[in-house]
Every structure is written in structure tokens, then in C-alpha cells.
Amino acid sequence: MKRRRMNQVPLFSSAGEQAKMLVTSNLIDAAWAKIPELQRGQSALPSSVQTMIDHPTPNSTIVVFAPLPDSTQYPLPQGGDLVPYPDFDFLGTKEWPSVSINRAALTLFESLKNHLYGLKTELNKREGQLIITGHSLGGSIASLFTLYLLSSMDKESKCRPICITFGSPLIGNFALQHSHWNSFFLHLVSDKDPLPTLFLSSGRSAPTSSHSQATAYKPFGTYLLCSEIGCACFDDPDLILKILTVASSEVAGGLLQVVDYGEILRNLKNRAICKGPQLAGERFAYPFSDGIVMELKTIGIDPAKHNIDTTRMEAEARTLAKKTKASDAKELNDIKKYMVMLEWYKKKSKEANKCYYDCFKNGDFQRDVRIEEFMGQLTTYWEDMVAQAERKPQKEGASFRTAWFQSATTFRRMVEPLDIAIFYRDGGRDYINNGRSPLYKLLEKLYDEAAKNTTREGPDSKNKKVSVLLTDDSCFWAHVEDAILSCQSLNHANSTPEQRESSWKNLVEFGKYVTKQIENFAVSPEIFLEQSSFMKWWRMYEASIDAFRNFYTSPLVNFMKSHKYDDYGLPEEA
Amino acid sequence: MGETVGNLIGLNDEVIHPAATLAVEAHNSPSKQFLVKKIKIRHDYSSVVVLAFSGSMFPDDWFGQPPFGKTKIDTGNFPSLTSLNDGGDAVVNGSFLRRFNGVLDKLSHAKELKEAIEKKRQVVFSGYSSAGPIAILATVYFLENRTLSPRCLTFGSPLLGDRIFGHVLRREGWSDYFTHFVMKYDIIPRIMLSPSSTEQEQILNYFKSKFDRKNINPAPPSGFYLTVVGNASSVASYEACHLMGCRNPSLDIIKSFIELSPYRPSGTYVFCTGNGNLVVVKNPNAVLQILIHCAELGESNTAEVEKRSLDEHSAYLSELKECLGMQAVVSLDGGPATATLNDLGLSPQAMLCLQAAEEFENRRSRNLEKIRNYLEKIEVELEMLRKYKGNAQISRLGYYDSFKLQNEDDDFHANVSRLEIAGIWDEIKEMLKEFELPDDFEKKPEFIEIGKIYRRLVEPLDIANFYRHRKDKETGPYVIGRGARPKRYRFAQRWLEHDENKPFGSRSESCFCAEVEQLGIDIKEKGYLQEIKDRIHQLERNLIAWIGDESLDDDVLLENSTFVKWWRDLPLKCKSESDRIENLIRGKADRL
């Protein structure tokens, strides 16, 4: 029995309306019209797939790929298995890092590569609308070529592409579901066409080693699925795969049937302005599920019979519907608010002549309790951003991260010291190897990569306002804590000479590290506040030097002993 | 039951049929630009003046520059017809606007209208077919002028304006003054949803020879239905996707490859079902869906429906006579009712579209409720900021400058309050941009007022924060009308200016400190150029005016404020109001 909670708002499925909008517009006709035209023309390339380029208006370009109608001279390549294709690894996501492509499509694509490279160079110069279209294996080439083109396009590109294929086989194992690129692909498939699932079924029938690969085919883009009586648009890969599989199992006759997409489009256009036999009837009590059942039945799928869970689809749609631009705007301001709270905490600590790190570690202020709440909110927010980036293909994920990585860096430098404080307060040792969360590791890795790629003007200039700066290395305090532990080990009565030697070595290393930070103005002057953990370490270290290694000296020791830090970070006198 | 069309559209039933008759007569009298007739209402002896416009079936008078002949409305004659939320000016059919401008002169001098104004008579602008849009524009024109409060009746009118046009009519509360009668299959009310084509020209030529009566029975064109209704259907489906909350991002990409008609219905629609029943619909999204879905082909063949779509355009008088006699009227705005929909011959898919249109309105009401619930929270934060401001005044620094320094606990709390309200206000801003709030939101006094208070109290803090962090280096200056200024303030300012009928920019008192800061920076970089001097003079005049009408708080005049310190450092030759401003500063010091 269907149940809907009273407070839930009705949802709708727009799969049918989107399909109707497409077939009543001229976009798909314009794409299809070029295919028979290309097939009638002279073949220009020594290949089973031909291509041409046309400019219907000065501001639009159409690129067409179609197989030769007569394939005796150049037979279409065979091969339903997936072949790893590292050239397309820019499509890899965290879940699907390496990309494999259908062998037949890849063979064709490789054989045309010289030609396609020239075409890409030409298209990169153009502005305006770009339609890339193709039929059957030509459509596979159209898709691969579009991906190839997208990978080299920058944000400023004035060229807007869309790829429209007709009855093309599935291409590869990569997932574009969470990618912006997904919306550039539109695949028209008739329920009478066996070709789209051709490789899928061949992979299935042969339970060889390629079996697991063959079933790893993943649809991407939007599918416009059509039957005699109507059409519907879907973009959920699992649902599309299911529908395609059902359709292919019901296609009679197999391969020989040739599907005329021109005729299909004409029929759908007429259907679009017909009411159909039924009149409206009652209001729909469950518009989403009632709607989607109607839409699926239109394309020959019975959700009950084919085990399609419309309740789950509705639940997913409901989650998506909650995220709006308005709710995003609110969230962004909340995140800013939490950061302001933390900045204030840091400032208040400094006024009390302490580092916020130490204040938090010792629980000096009452407001510390809420600080943990803000840390939690901020961490969740950034974990979500990182996860979003990881679901996108590598290249797109990278540019998505560029947009926010500055804020993420500030977050890491502000919040990680607090996590370090908790770690050592609770008796932890060696935070970097035992306590550091994957989020911080990843954010730091991103920062290092970005720093490598941007030409920096050497170490930050002295004019930089060091006084308001956050310490560059968000793990600075972890190093300090470990140095304190080393000092303790050095001084401990029960320590073996080996332990002492190793502790001393650690301390020398730490000294070098701090010197470098100071030279680069990369640490906040707050670390020199009288009660900071760093000064606590220095006093212990100074005592150890006197006790164990009299006359030991280093740049840091000089710096500290001569109180040079009193001037550190002060504005230079003019 | 018992509702009549007149009740539902707020006009006496006795006016409708005479207005239609006059409209048809006027349409076919091209020698006169309009006809006027006084109609006596029997039951209360009042008179209504109906003014009906002439029409034209020349394709040039319908379609300008292909594909849609659209043009921006001229905001000189129609100052309200613009969006207050970045949506730009309303777009209308350029040919219809041109024809309206052609009759405007004669219309504004019409003695019948002057008399109606004097005698406080109800005026109805009426138009049949291509005269419908002229009647609509005339009605808007006089509503803008506020000399008259006319009503508008059209019969088989083509669409005139875009989504912003309808949004403005609803925002201003004018939408109910417009009533459009449409026959179930009449092709003309749908024709503007399709780009201009030879098919459309054939349709117009057919009507032209029919109306000219030179040719008694011209041969009707054929084969246009699939094109015209097909294109219209594309528009309806695109809108339906939005109503249904389409979550497939490819929709936007596809849209950028398809040029859809910009025109959308506005006002109240009355559909004549063909069996004597009338269906009244006010929800503009529902109107669009019905316009398309009830014209869809059913059992009968295309040729039959095609012929009917032409015949019905000239059947308004007889159909209305029957309908108005029967008064079998249903209003759809309580939600789509089954029986009515079957009268219109709608499909189950159409029912879903109508439910989505209804749900969209419900969602907008829920959003409004949500924002209303925020008001209390906003008020709490504003109260905190008022106290903060009071304390800052006591410290003789002014709250702009104390906030900029961020030294005290209070400054921090003020910053948190600022961010709390900014979150809410940004949410409102996004909803407005997506039309996710009721159309009249920006006219609601409670929001105009809180927007004004919010802007005056909080925007200086945003500016202080902006210049404290020298964000102008990253984003460019904080400019009143664009650039780095947050849109939430720009929108709130537009609401107030629109409400007070003032030009854009006249209410930028909340940006006073931004101009002071920016002038300081610009002088350092460029010196005292003439352009800078002009800006200083403008700033001085604004200061005097805003202090005068109390829209700008006088703590900018505190001795230690950024403004006073900066202004006193200016060379005397750059100041134009030196004495008056000195007096203001001294006056402020004396009051403390």
C-alpha cells in the first residue's frame, strides 16, 4: 500500500515533459537530418565511419559521424569487451579511477585520431553552438570526441557543445553522474533498436574473463528513450541500464532490424500534440509515482513486472529537491559565521597573552564547549565538499576544488591546531602518523600541488602582516608537542643512551624546522607568547642543552637566547 | 455555485457581451483607431465606458524581427514594467507595441476618457484578435498614470508579454483587471508561442481576406497545426519541467540550443469549452498548460481540428452569447477539478501539469511563510545591533568605525549578528531570483520596511568589513548599483525606491560610508581629478539631504569618524558645502 506522510509535499517526475520538449523542438531533427546526408555523400576517409562538419548559421557548427551504409569495403570493427584506455583517465573518479572503453569504439577512435586532432584544433577556435552527433558506432565516436574536446576546453571557452547520438552502443565503464559534463550528452534510443545493448549482451552470453568487464558498462548523459507511443528522459545510470536490458531482451529478430530514427522522430512529434485515448480522470494522489509509472509504461516498461522501485526514486528526488540555491546561500553564511567565531576565540586568547591552541588545550575559557561544535560543523562541511570533488572526473574535480581551496586552507590552518590540542590533551603521541584525519591530509596535498603550480615570488615578503597570520603549517603544534615529548625523554632518568641520542636528533631536526618557519615568516608570532607550549618547550630545551650539551648552538638557539623573537612580526620601521 | 463570470473577474456581466461586440466591430474598422460606447447598467443606473481598438491582419503588424519579434518595453511610458530582482525590463511583441504607440496620442486626448475621469465612470479597454494586445497596453499605461483604473477585456487575443510582464502585473496587483476570453481550439491565442513562419503568415492572410469581406469564403490554409501547436507544446513542456522541479541539469543545456518563445500568458483567462461552459483560471502557469493541452488532438483527425482552430477565432460573439446566458462557470483556482478538465478534454498528463502548477503556487506560499517566520529572528538581531550602535555612539567613535576596528566583544557579537541576518537575507535573494516567492513579495509593506531598516543599520557594517579587509583589491570597489555590493542590499533598496516612485540610486544612503572609503582610496591613487571633485560635491549634497530627512544616521558626523577625519583633511577648494557640513558636525558635537 502506498503511504505518504501528511507533511510531505507532492513531488513530480518530469521525465515525460522533458522528452516532449525535446521532440517538439527542432534540436534533434537538426542533428538527425545531417546523418542521411553524410551517408549519401562520398566517403572521404578510409574508414567505416565517415564524418563531416557544417555551419548551418555563422554562429553554429555541427559535426556528424555516421557509419557507411555499405560496410563491405571497411567493415565495422568487432569487440564487445572493455579495454583500459589511460588517455581517458581524466574521466576517472575516486570510485572508478581507471577508464576502459569498448574495443570496437576504441579501434575506430584510434584509427581516426589524426583527423580528430585536427578537428579539435579547429573547433577550439570557434564560438557559439556546437552540435556533435552520430548514429550507431558513429555516435560512439561522437561521444568519445566530445569527451576529448571537453577535456581540453577551459572555462572561458565561448563554444557550447552538446552531443546527440542515435542508437549508439554503451561505451565504457566510467561514471559521469556527478559531473557537469554529464549534461552535455543526449542519447536517443528506440526500444526496437538492439544496437545500444549489443556489447552488453555479448559480454553476458560469454562467461569468460571479460564477463565482469562487460557488465561494467555504464551509461552516462541523458537518455531519451522512445517507443511507438511515446518517450521519456532519464539520467539515472542504473535505471537506464535496466530499461535498456529489458528492451533488448524483448527485441525480436535481433541484429538485422534497421531502426529509422527519422521516422521515429516524425511519429513522436505527432504524438506529442495528441491527447491519447484517456481523459484526465481524478486528481493524482501520488503525482510522482503515478507520473513515473505512466512514463515508464509509455516506453514499454512495467515497473512492477521489471522490479523498478519507484518509492526509492521518489526518496532520491526528495533529497535532491531539498538542496536549493537558497539553502546553499544560507549554509555558506553559516560557515562564515563559524569561522568568525573561531577567529574571535583566537583573538580573545591572544589578549589573555596566550595562544588559542593552548587556551583550547587547557580549557581556559567557558566558550570552549561551543568551539568543538563549530569545529564539527566546519569539518562536516569541508568533508562534504571534498567528497563532492571526488565524485567528479579528475579534471573537473580539480577546477571545482580551485574555487574553494583558499577557504579550505584557512579552515585547515585555523581548525587543525584545535584537533591537535585534543589529540595531545588525551595523551596521544605522534599526531601526524597516528591522529591526522584524511581530510587534513587531503587538503594539505591539494595545497602543496597548487603551490607547486603557481609561480610564487619566493618566500613571503616581510611586509606581510605576520601579526594577523595563521601559522602556515597546520601541523606546527604537533611538531611542538612531539618536541616536548623528546625533551622529556631526554631528561628522563630511565632513558637509555640510545633513546637519549634519538631524542636529541629529533630535537635538532625540530630546531631546523622552526628556523625555516621563522625565516619564511610562516609562523604566527603568537607562538612566542610567554605561556605558549612552544615557549614551554624552549625552556625545557634550554635546560637540556645546559645539562647535556653545553655550548651547543644553532640558529634557533641564537634566535631564542638573544630574544630576537621580540621583534618578530613587528612592522619594519620605515 | 451561483458565481457568474462577472463576479469572478470583478466586472458587471452586462458589460461583457457589448464589449465583445464593440471589439469585433472596431477590429474591422481600420479607418478609426478605436470606437467608444457608453453602456448603461440596468440594476444600478451607472454607466461603463467601453473603448475598443481596431486591428490589423498584416503579418508585419504581428511579427517583427524573427523569430519572435520581441523588444524591451520602453520604461518611459511604462516605468513599472521592470523586475526588481535582476530580471531586467519586461519584453513585449515589438509590432504590438509599435501599434499601441501609434494610437497613444489620440487616446490620451480622447474626450470620452476625460469625461469618464471627471464623472468617475468605469472604463473598459477592449480588443478582439490583434487589438487585444493594444487594449492590454492601454490598460497598463493608464494604471501606470494612475489617472484611471481601467479594466481590460480581450477576445481571442495573441500573447503580448514575457514572464516579467506577467510578474509585474501580479506584483502591482493589476493582474485581476485583465480578462482574456479564449475558445478551446482558437489558433490565435497560441500563435505567438511559435517562431514566425510561413504557416503563420498563411493563417493571417486567411483571416485578412475573410475580415476584408472581399473574399466571402477564402480557402483555409492547412498543415500548420503540427508546427504551431508543436512549437507551443515545446514551451509548455519546458515550463512544466520547471513546475515539476526538474532535477536534470541537462535541461538548461538543451534550452540554450533551442530558442523558445518568450511570451507567456498574464491576467485572468476564461476558456470557452465549446459546450456552453466557462472555465476561469488565474494561475498563469495553469493557463499556459491549458492553452496547449486543450488544443491537443483527440479522437478527431488533424484536418478537422485545424479547421476548427480557424473557425473558432471568429465565433466569439455567438459562443459568448450562449455562455453568458447559461453562466455555467467554474473557477480552477481551488485546484483542478475533474469535471471541468473533461469539459476541456484534458489528458492525464495535463492533469499532472496542472497539479504541478498548483503545487508551485503552494510552494511559493510556503516559502513566504518561512520568510515570515524569520522576521522575528531578524528583529532580535536588529535589536542587538541597535544597542551596539547606541553604545558605540557613547564611545564617540560611531559604530561604523568601532566595527571596523573590531577590538571589543561587542564588535564581535555585532559581526555574528550581521552574518546571521545575511544568511536569511541571502536566502530571500535567491528565492526572488528563482521566482520562488509570491509575485507581490516586493510590494509587501512589512518587507519593504524591514528591508529599509536592515539596510540602514547593517549595510554600514558590511562596508566596514569590506574596507577593513581591503576587499576592493580583490573584487573592485563597493559600488551602489553593481560590483561587490551584496545583492541583498541592492534588492532591498530597489523595493523602497519602487514603492516611493523614486529613480534607482536615490536611496543609497546606506552606502554613504562606502563612497567615503572609495573616495579616500581613489584620491590617493589618482589625485584630485575633476571626476573626483564632482563625486565629493555629490557626496556633500547627499549628506546634507540624508541627514536632513534622517535617512542617514548622524553618527557619521562624530569627530572621530572616518568621514569627518577624511573630509577635514580635504583641501578647501575641493569642498562645496564646507560651512554647512562644519555646522552639522558642530551641531552633533554639541548634542552629545
- Best residue in B86, B247, B362, B407 to probe A by mutation, most A CBs within 10 Å? B247
Residues in chain A: 574
- For the stretch A400-426, pLDDT in tens is 887 788 889 999 999 999 999 999 999
Phi, psi torsion values for B281, nearest 5 degrees: -130, 130
User: Three-state SS across A274-340?
Assistant: ECCCCCCCCCCCCHHHHHHHHHHHHCCCCCCCCCCCHHHHHHHHHHHHHCCHHHHHHHHHHHHHHHH
| Cα(B220)–Cα(B203) distance, integer angstroms | 8
Band of pLDDT at residue A155, cut at 50, 70 and 90: low
A–B interface: beta-carbon pairs under 8 A: 203
C-alpha distance from B526 to closest chain A C-alpha (Å): 24
Question: Is B427 at the interface with chain A, CB within 8 A?
Answer: yes
Which pLDDT does position B2 carry in this prediction?
61
- Contact: A340, B341; criterion CB under 8 Å: no
B466 touching A (Cβ < 8 Å):
no
Instruction: Determine whether B237 is exposed, middle or buried from the number of CB atoms within 10 Å of its CB (0-12, 13-18, 19+).
Output: buried
Reported in sequence order, the residue ranges of A11-74 that DSSP labels E, i.e. its strands, are 49-57, 60-67
In chain B, which residues have their Cβ closer than 8 Å to the Cβ of A186? 250, 254
Measuring CA to CA, which residue among A457, A335, A362, A360 is closest to residue A417? A360
Q: Do B352 and A284 make contact, defined as CB atoms within 8 angstroms?
A: yes
Q: Which B residues in the span 218-237 are in contact with A, Cβ-Cβ below 8 Å?
A: 225-226, 229-231, 233-234, 237
Q: Do A280 and B351 touch (CB under 8 A)?
A: yes
CB A31 within 8 A of CB A133: yes
**How far is residue B305 CA from its own chain's centroid?**
35
For the cut 70, the answer to whether the pLDDT of residue A458 exceeds it is: no
Q: How confident is the model at residue A461 (pLDDT cuts 50, 70, 90)?
A: very low
Instruction: Count CB neighbours of B167 within 10 A.
Output: 25
Mean pLDDT split into 10-residue runs, chain B, 592 residues: 80 93 94 94 89 95 93 95 93 97 95 92 96 98 91 98 97 97 97 94 93 80 94 97 92 94 97 90 96 88 92 95 89 74 87 95 96 96 95 87 90 93 95 95 96 96 93 84 86 95 89 95 92 95 95 91 94 92 93 82
Q: Of A163, A225, A283, which to mutate for an interface test with B (greatest number of B Cβ within 10 Å)?
A: A283
End-to-end CA distance of chain B: 68
* Mean pLDDT of all residues belonging to chain A: 86
Write b or e for each residue in A32-63: b if 16 or more Cβ atoms lie within 10 A of its Cβ, otherwise e: bbbbeebbeeeeeeebbbbbeeeeeeeebbbb
pLDDT at B215: 67
Q: Distance (Å) from the C-alpha of residue B132 to the closest C-alpha of chain A?
A: 26
* Residue in A12, A273, A275 closest to B230 by CB: A273
Cα of B505 to nearest chain A Cα, Å: 26
B249 touches chain A (CB under 8 A): yes
Nearest to A273 among B229, B252, B254 (CB): B229
**DSSP state for residue A367 in the 8-state scheme:** T
Say yes or no for a CB contact (<8 Å) between A279 and B415.
no
Judged by CB atoms closer than 8 Å, whether chains meet at B234 and A24 is answered as yes
Give the alpha-carbon dihedral of B197, B199, B204, B208, to 10 degrees: 130
Q: What is d(CA B311, CA B190) in angstroms, rounded to the nearest whole number? A: 15
Question: Per residue in A442-481, is it b (16+ CB within 10 Å) or e — as a string?
Answer: bbbebbeeeeeeeeeeeeeeeeeebeebbbbbbbbbbbbb
Check CB contact under 8 Å for B246 and A336.
no
Cell representation of residue A385: 565538499
Q: Hey, are the CB atoms on B431 and A326 less than 8 Å from each other?
A: yes
Which chain A residue has the Cα nearest residue B345?
Answer: A279
Look at A222 and B431 and tell me if their CB atoms are within 8 Å: no
Record the pTM.
0.91
Using the predicted structure, report yes or no on whether residue A2 has a pLDDT greater than 80.
no
Please tell me the predicted confidence (pLDDT) of residue A103: 92
Predicted confidence (pLDDT) per residue in A342-399, tens digit: 988 998 888 888 899 999 999 887 766 789 999 999 999 999 999 988 888 888 888 7
Please say if the pLDDT value at position A467 is more than 80. Answer: no
pLDDT at B275: 86
Question: What is the β-pairing status of strands B34-40 and A60-67?
Answer: unpaired
Q: Has B401 been annotated as catalytic?
A: no
Nearest to A336 by CA among B4, B155, B465: B465
Q: Which of B230, B231, B247 sits opposite A320 (nearest CB)?
A: B247
Q: Do B250 and A334 touch (CB under 8 A)?
A: no
Q: Which of B227, B259, B261, B351 to mutate to test the interface with A (most CBs of A within 10 A)?
A: B351
Question: Rounded CA gap, A64 and A87, in Å?
Answer: 23
- Answer whether A17 sits within 8 Å of B237, measured CB to CB: yes
Which residue of B lies nearest to A293 if distances are taken between CA atoms? B349
Cβ separation B359–A12 shorter than 8 A = yes
Contact A329 B430 (CB under 8 A): yes
Give the whole-angstrom CA distance, residue A490 versus residue A502: 9
Determine the pLDDT at residue A61.
Answer: 94
Hey, is the C-beta of B551 within 8 angstroms of any chain A C-beta?
Answer: no
A129 and A150 Cβ atoms separated by less than 8 Å: no
Interface test with A, best of B250, B296, B416 (most A CBs within 10 A): B250
Interface contact B359-A276, CB threshold 8 A = no
Q: Decide if A279 and B254 are in contact by the 8 Å CB cutoff.
A: no
Give the closest of B244, B423, B430 to A14, CB-based. Answer: B244
List phi, psi (to 5°) of B85.
Answer: -130, 45
> Are the Cβ atoms of A9 and B348 closer than 8 angstroms?
no
Q: Is the CB of residue B408 less than 8 Å away from at least one CB of chain A?
A: no
Residue A209 has pLDDT above 50, yes or no: no
Q: With bands split at pLDDT 50, 70 and 90, how would you rate the model's confidence at A7?
A: low
In this prediction, residues A307-335 reach a mean pLDDT of 90
Per the annotation, the verdict on B129 as an active-site residue is yes
**From the candidates B83, B129, B196, B233, which is the catalytic residue?**
B129
In 3D space, the residue among A454, A372, A368, A364 whose CA is nearest the CA of residue A405 turns out to be: A454
The catalytic residue among B162, B186, B411, B499 is B186
Cα–Cα distance for residue pair A378/A384, rounded to 1 Å:
10
Distance CA B211, CA B27 (A): 9
B330: cell is 467554474
Q: Does B353 touch chain A (CB under 8 A)?
A: yes
Question: Which residues in chain A have their CB less than 8 angstroms from residue B356's CB?
Answer: 12, 287
pLDDT for residue A367: 65
Which amino acid is located at B253 in the chain?
A: I
Which among A183, A317, A337 has CB closest to B253?
A183
Would you say residue A257 has pLDDT above 90?
A: no
Whether B313 is catalytic is yes
Q: How far is B374 from chain A (nearest CA, A)?
A: 12
The residues facing B280 across adjacent strands are B270, B331
B245 → closest Cβ in A12, A21, A336? A12
Q: Which residues contact B93 (CB under 8 A, 6 or more apart)?
A: B62, B64, B68, B69, B70, B71, B133, B158, B159, B160, B161, B192, B263
Are B11 and B124 in contact by the 8 Å Cβ rule? The answer is yes
pLDDT at site A158: 78
Cα–Cα distance for residue pair B169/B175, rounded to 1 Å? 5
The pLDDT value given to residue A180: 86
- pLDDT-wise least confident of A168-172, A246-250, A380-384, B59-63: A246-250
